[in-house]
Amino acid sequence: MAEVKRVERPLSPHLQIYRPQLTSITSILTRITGNALIVGVALAVWWLLAAAVSDEYFATANWVATSWLGDLVFAGSAWAVWYHYLAGLRHLYFDAGHGLDIATAEKLGWACIIGSVVLTVATIVIV
């Protein structure tokens, strides 16, 4: 029987070969921030429900919500809200058929990232 010689083909692109574009990173960030908001909402709902249950349970929930971990979760949630909001506006702009060229899409991606950080800092300072 004849021997079959396997053709060595390249594997699919890996991060060593493929460089993620800003547009793909912002798309992934939009999905991550949407899902990460669940953590902040869960902490806020737990805090509110604990207030309705008892003083002792509320003291525990309030301690967690006002600790460094709670502050980190709420600050991260503020950033996620702003980023998700700006990315939503960006997608509405895309849906209208505008900004679909690579240069404009990258500028809008940077605007979402930088704008969300600036708005988060402003929110933390004001609140």
Domain boundaries, the chain: 22-34+67-126
Q: Residue 119 has what pLDDT?
A: 98
Along the chain (127 residues), what's the average pLDDT of each consecutive run of 10 residues? 72 69 93 94 97 96 97 96 97 96 96 98 96
Q: Residue 14 has what pLDDT?
A: 67
Q: Residue 19 has what pLDDT?
A: 78
Residue 21, C-beta contacts closer than 8 angstroms, at least 6 positions apart: 106
Look at the alpha carbons of 21, 25, 26, 30 in this order and tell me if their dihedral is positive or negative.
positive
Instruction: Report whether 117 contacts 110 (CB < 8 A).
Output: no
Residue 51, C-beta contacts closer than 8 angstroms, at least 6 positions apart: 58, 61
From the candidate CATH numbers 1.10.760.10, 1.10.10.60, 1.20.1300.10, 3.40.50.970, the one assigned to the domain spanning 22-34+67-126 = 1.20.1300.10
Q: Residue 69 has what pLDDT?
A: 96
Q: Residue 6 has what pLDDT?
A: 78
If you count them, how many residues does the chain have? Answer: 127
